[in-house]
């Protein structure tokens, strides 16, 4: 990151955690295992499970706060100077910590970016967050943000990115490389449904996986992080999937592997709207 902080290329997502009370301990155990395996970035949001996911994260990191790099997100409706302080404090209570490592604007709403930046900087001065970033902002939004007072303090943009969703490669990803700002990729294995099944079952994905003695999911994760400036945050609520995700960080795709995958799922040749789920 721009402040010199080094993070593992694969972290842990928590979308849909904290919604079923009977699953709470299993989900917390999965996050703890991920920490043990070096996936120290845990991403959550006040929106996930109406705070339930943050409570799961708080349970998982209890007694080992220093092992985790905590990321949470504020809803756009709470991103103004009159609401963001309370939203952040509520998230901190649910997480059971005094400060967040990274706080993100979940997506752009009606609150002016300048007002959100001002509030984020206040949270930094107050010691409640260590750094801040954004999520689901496209290139024009990022350009506006950087030209806002203190907007250059933004350290990351979290967006949808996987082999079947490559629209950011047209302009957003190159823009962020030039700005020395990493991408955090959510849903790096796609968000379930037919597209995920298509990716996992595609003959070229499976062929590369067989050559590398890996799973299709590991190949897809390795593709997302292959260039070094993208951090993937797949969700895994089972220990088997946690081990699978962690091992993907050591998987090396050759140029031929990457070319084969990218020919099977080509990037758009023109600007397309930023995809969100």
pLDDT tens across 159-201, in order?
A: 999 999 999 999 999 999 999 999 999 999 998 789 999 999 9
Cα 230 to chain centroid distance, Å, stands at: 9
Per the structure block, which two tokens stand in for 14? 């928590």
Q: How confident is the model at residue 232 (pLDDT cuts 50, 70, 90)?
A: very high
Residue 193's pLDDT is 85
Nearest to 32 by CA among 8, 67, 72: 67
Is position 48 annotated as part of the catalytic site? Answer: yes
Range 12-191+227-238: architecture per CATH: Alpha-Beta Barrel (3.20)
- Residue 46 is given by DSSP the state T
Q: What is the pLDDT of residues 23-73, one digit of tens each?
A: 999 999 999 999 999 999 999 999 999 999 999 999 999 999 999 999 999
pLDDT at position 213 over 80: yes
Provide the phi-psi class of 187: left if phi over 0, else alpha when psi is between -120 and 50, else beta. left
Q: What pLDDT, on a 0 to 100 scale, did the predictor assign at position 17?
A: 96
- What does the pLDDT read at residue 228? 86
Q: In this model, does residue 237 exceed pLDDT 80?
A: no
pLDDT value for 191: 85
pTM of the model: 0.97
The burial of 147, by beta-carbon neighbours within 10 Å (0-12 exposed, 13-18 middle, 19 or more buried), is given as exposed
- One of 48, 103, 161, 186 is an active-site residue; which one? 48
- Distance CA(273)–CA(271), nearest Å, equals 7
Other C-beta atoms closer than 10 Å to the C-beta of 148 total: 17
| Sequence-distant (≥ 6) Cβ neighbours of residue 168 within 8 angstroms | 159, 161, 183, 274
What is the pLDDT, as a whole number, of residue 238?
A: 87
Q: For the beta carbon of residue 19, count every other beta carbon within 10 angstroms.
A: 15
Q: What is the mean pLDDT of residues 248-265?
A: 97
Give 226: exposed, middle or buried? Use CB within 10 Å, 0-12, 13-18, 19+.
Answer: middle
pLDDT given for residue 28 in this prediction: 97
SS3 sequence, 247-267? HHCCCCCCHHHHHHHHHHCCC
pLDDT score, position 217: 97
In 3-state terms, what secondary structure has residue 52? helix
Mean pLDDT, all residues of the chain: 97
Could you tell me the two tokens for 222?
Answer: 């390795």
Q: What is the mean pLDDT of residues 78-106?
A: 97
93 vs 248: CA distance, rounded Å: 33
């Amino acid at each position: 990151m721009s402040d010199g902080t080094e993070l593992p290329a694969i972290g842990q997502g928590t979308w849909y955690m904290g919604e079923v009370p009977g699953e709470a301990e299993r989900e917390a155990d999965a996050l703890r295992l991920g920490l043990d395996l070096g996936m120290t970035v845990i991403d959550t949001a006040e929106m996930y499970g109406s705070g339930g996911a943050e409570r799961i994260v708080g349970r998982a990191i209890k007694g080992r706060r220093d092992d985790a790099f905590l990321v949470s997100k504020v809803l756009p409706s709470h991103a103004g100077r009159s609401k963001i302080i309370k939203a952040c404090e509520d998230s901190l209570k649910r997480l059971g910590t005094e400060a967040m490592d990274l706080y993100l604007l979940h997506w752009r709403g009606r609150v002016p970016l300048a007002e959100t930046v001002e509030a984020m900087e206040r949270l930094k001065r107050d010691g409640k967050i260590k750094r801040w970033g954004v999520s689901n902002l496209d290139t024009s939004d990022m350009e506006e943000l950087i030209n806002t007072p203190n907007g250059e303090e933004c350290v990351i943009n979290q967006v949808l990115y996987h082999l079947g969703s490559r629209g950011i490669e047209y302009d957003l990803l190159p823009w962020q490389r030039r700005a020395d700002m990493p991408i955090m990729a959510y849903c790096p294995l796609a968000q379930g449904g037919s597209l995920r099944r298509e990716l996992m079952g595609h003959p070229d994905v499976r062929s590369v996986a067989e050559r590398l003695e890996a799973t299709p999911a590991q190949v897809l994760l390795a593709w997302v992080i292959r260039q070094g400036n993208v951090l993937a945050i797949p969700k895994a609520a089972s220990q088997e999937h946690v081990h699978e995700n962690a091992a993907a960080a050591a998987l090396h795709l050759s140029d031929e592997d990457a070319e084969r995958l990218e020919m099977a799922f080509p990037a758009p040749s023109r600007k397309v709207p930023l995809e969100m789920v």
